[in-house]
Amino acid sequence: MHTMTSTSTTADREIVTTRLIDAPRALVFEAWTDPKHVAHWFGPDGFVTTTHSMEVRPGGIWRFTMRGPDGTDWPNVVTYEQVVAPERLVYLHGDDKEPDMFHNTVTFDDQDGKTALTMRAVFKTAVAKDFVVRERGAVEGGKQTIARLDRYVREMARSGTN
Amino acid sequence: MPDRLSTTLSALADPTRRAILARLATGEATVNQLAEPFDISLPAVSRHLKVLQKAGLIAQGREAQWRPCRITPAPLEEVSDWVEAYRELWERRLDRLESYLDKLQEKKKPASRRRRST
């Protein structure tokens, strides 16, 4: 096992995403931290997100499962490090085996009643890559399932056996 | 055992090595030419080149005297593919967040948030 020189910055493993959202930040923050809201947007298209427990406080854990369109379950674990409502969330995201695949910092900035959302993700490469590729593969799979269903329904309609 | 993406990113996790790659992106160069802008020894530059070579990011010519380095960008494409996949996931996730928040706000204040026709 070799060790790389640890002068490395995290810049190479960091992805920053920003979005200006037309909603007050208290509401945006709530949408990130309330299980009933999260179920509506967190999972990829066609996924169902089920929260088992969610404790939004430093050291608290959000445990949830994303069920893919093909019925596959993807367990997720989020461990909160910093919770500053409604300004900032810092958390680790992964699963039980690798709870620290991603280190995320999400900031909610008020901009005249809108919210400037900034997400800074630093990832452990190998496992994080698998995680994303798997999830993305599942999304692609889901699209195919829906396309199949669509074709099937249309064929049924055409043959008049509805 | 590190996967190739991790190896590539480790190789990129150094400002000198990134500067070397940036220089090579403009064309081939010898080790001496590459070392010139840096305030470090030739052996140190060679060590950086070795890391880049192991990661498959550069290749070196064979002639003993004139061994120009050139960039081999395939591993970089892998990095950008992975970043692209991650971005796409989050872009879609934030799209859903936005439309969900729109719906929530319409429910809360139906009069003031009535949609203009777009």
By the CB < 8 Å criterion, does B105 face chain A? Answer: yes
Average pLDDT of span B4-13: 83
Count the domains in chain B: 2
Q: Which CATH number characterizes residue B43's domain?
A: 1.10.10.10
User: Is A3 among the domain residues?
Assistant: no
DSSP classification of residue A44: P
Sign of CA dihedral A142, A80, B86, A116: positive
Same domain as B64, residue B78: no
Question: Contact B94/A9, CB-based, under 8 Å?
Answer: no
- Which tens digit of pLDDT belongs to each residue from A8-45? 456 667 788 899 999 999 999 999 999 989 988 887 77
Asked if B3 lies within 8 A of A129 by C-beta distance, the reply is: yes
Residue A2 belongs to some domain of the structure: no
Give me the residue from B9, B88, B90 closest to A12, CB to CB: B9
> Please, which pLDDT band fits residue A7 given cuts at 50, 70 and 90?
very low
| Cross-chain CB nearest to A119 (options B90, B98, B100) | B90
Give the nearest partner residue to B6 out of A11, A126, A132, using CB atoms: A126
B98 and A21: CB-CB below 8 Å? yes
Q: Structural domain tally of chain A?
A: 1
- CATH code assigned at A33: 3.30.530.20
Determine which of A118-132, A148-162, B10-24 has the lowest per-residue pLDDT on average: A148-162
Cβ contact B97–A121 (<8 Å): no
Domain residues for B100?
A: 74-118
| Chain A: residue whose CA lies nearest to B87 | A17
Give the minimum alpha-carbon distance from A60 to chain B in angstroms, rounded to a whole number: 23
Domain for residue A130, yes or no?
Answer: yes
- Render chain B in DSSP notation, one character per residue: ---HHHHHHHHHSSHHHHHHHHHHTTS-B-HHHHHTTSSS-HHHHHHHHHHHHHTTSEEE---SS---EEE--HHHHHHHHHHHHHHHHHHHHHHHHHHHHHHHHHHH-TTTTPPPP-
Instruction: Note the pLDDT tens digit of each residue in B81-90.
Output: 778 888 888 8
pLDDT, residue A162, reads: 42
On whether both B11 and B24 belong to a single domain, the answer is: yes
